């Protein structure tokens, strides 16, 4: 009897082990320590009172994952660890690593219950209900750290998203729920005639102003405080929503899309940055994984271009186009006739 290749099952059996190997090293400060100079397992263990043999196993495993380089008995960060896991890097993803370890990993342990009941697992896992920023990120520093991590993630994708369509004919962009402003910053840096506003809640705007001030396009960028569900929207001929719509169910999305549509002038547009599922709902794998993540964390989900098109057309938009970028985030644009 010829059995099928067991590799997919075997790989998935141990997939979480790879994540936790990186998470543990990050949480223990290994990538911070090994940025400045190499060190041996014994040196690291002695400095912190840890078990040298166990530390060596962790270091070896991270070297096997390509995050550390081992020479003799010494270890040092690889370029990828220095770029994304060392806190001094402008592209640091460490806050999202910590969030994945401390929040998502425990909640994913309750995935089966999320599927059975159709709802997020904040209460079951941590004893409180969402939403995210009022619960898990209950301090300004926790929020700031998370936003910094998401900024690094955003800057890997936003420059491609804003070039997915020709935006040179627009004059004023407002990025709704713009967080650190990475999409607005990328847009202004790509289109010299464009001006942009980052629109978010007051506590987020404090952080956004710092990132905007560091942009080469800062003279054409500003930050405005507000709630895109509850208040008026600043005037614009193009709005953007970056990883916003996947947080919500269809009813709430339709309210927001209608509000944006009514505020836009004729010829205006809405740029959307989201992961796009294939039309049959199967693949790409990273989008299916994020769709389950939204089930565990929010009331939302990932969608296909067809599903987004239906929502946008119900709100009045026409000429809905989508672009698969090949990165973690795809792009859509919807126009108002």
Which of the residues 26, 151, 182, 246 is marked catalytic?
246
Is residue 246 annotated as part of the catalytic site, yes or no? yes
**Cβ atoms of 273 and 329 closer than 8 Å:** yes
Distance, in Å, from the CA atom of 57 to the CA atom of 63, rounded to the nearest integer, reads 10
Distance, in Å, from the CA atom of 149 to the CA atom of 181, rounded to the nearest integer, reads 13
Q: In the chain, which ranges are continuous DSSP H helix?
A: 7-27, 30-36, 41-48, 52-64, 79-84, 94-99, 105-108, 111-117, 122-126, 132-135, 140-161, 182-190, 202-213, 250-263, 285-297, 305-314
For residue 140, CA distances in Å to 136, 175, 248 come to 11, 22, 24
Q: Which of 302, 296, 300 is nearest to 116 (CA)?
A: 296
**Cβ atoms of 252 and 226 closer than 8 Å:** no
CA 204 remoteness from chain centre: 16
For residue 175, CA distances in Å to 122, 271, 272 come to 28, 9, 10
Q: Please list the active-site residues.
A: 246
């Amino acid at each position: 009897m010829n059995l099928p290749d067991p590799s997919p099952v075997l790989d998935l059996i141990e997939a979480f082990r790879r994540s936790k190997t990186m998470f543990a090293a990050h949480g223990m400060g290994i990538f911070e320590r090994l940025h400045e100079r190499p060190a041996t397992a014994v040196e690291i263990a002695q400095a912190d009172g840890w078990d040298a043999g166990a530390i060596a196993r962790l270091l070896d495993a991270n070297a096997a994952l390509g995050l550390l380089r081992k020479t003799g008995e010494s270890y040092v960060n690889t370029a990828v660890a220095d770029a994304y896991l060392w806190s001094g890097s402008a592209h640091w993803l460490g806050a999202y690593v910590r969030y994945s370890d401390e929040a998502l990993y425990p909640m994913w342990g309750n995935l089966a219950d999320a599927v059975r009941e159709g709802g997020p697992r904040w209460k079951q896992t941590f004893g409180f209900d969402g939403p995210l920023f009022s619960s898990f990120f209950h301090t300004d520093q926790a929020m700031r750290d998370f936003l910094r991590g998401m900024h690094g993630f955003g800057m890997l994708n936003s420059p491609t998203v804003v070039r997915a369509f020709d935006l040179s004919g627009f004059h004023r962009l407002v990025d709704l729920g713009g967080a650190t402003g990475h999409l607005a910053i990328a847009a202004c840096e790509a289109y010299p005639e464009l001006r942009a506003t980052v629109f978010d809640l007051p506590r987020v705007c404090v952080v956004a102003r710092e990132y905007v001030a560091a942009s080469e396009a800062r003279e054409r960028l500003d930050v405005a405080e507000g709630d895109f569900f509850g208040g008026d929207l600043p005037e614009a001929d193009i709005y953007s929503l970056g990883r916003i719509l996947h947080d919500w169910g269809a009813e709430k999305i339709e309210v927001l899309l209608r509000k944006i549509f009514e505020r836009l002038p004729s010829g205006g547009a809405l740029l959307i940055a989201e992961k796009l599922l294939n039309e049959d709902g199967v693949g790409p794998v990273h989008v299916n994984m994020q769709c389950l993540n939204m089930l565990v964390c929010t009331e939302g989900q990932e969608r296909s271009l067809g599903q987004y098109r239906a929502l946008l057309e119900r709100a009045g938009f026409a000429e809905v186009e989508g672009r698969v970028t090949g990165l973690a985030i795809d792009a859509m644009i919807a126009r108002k006739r």
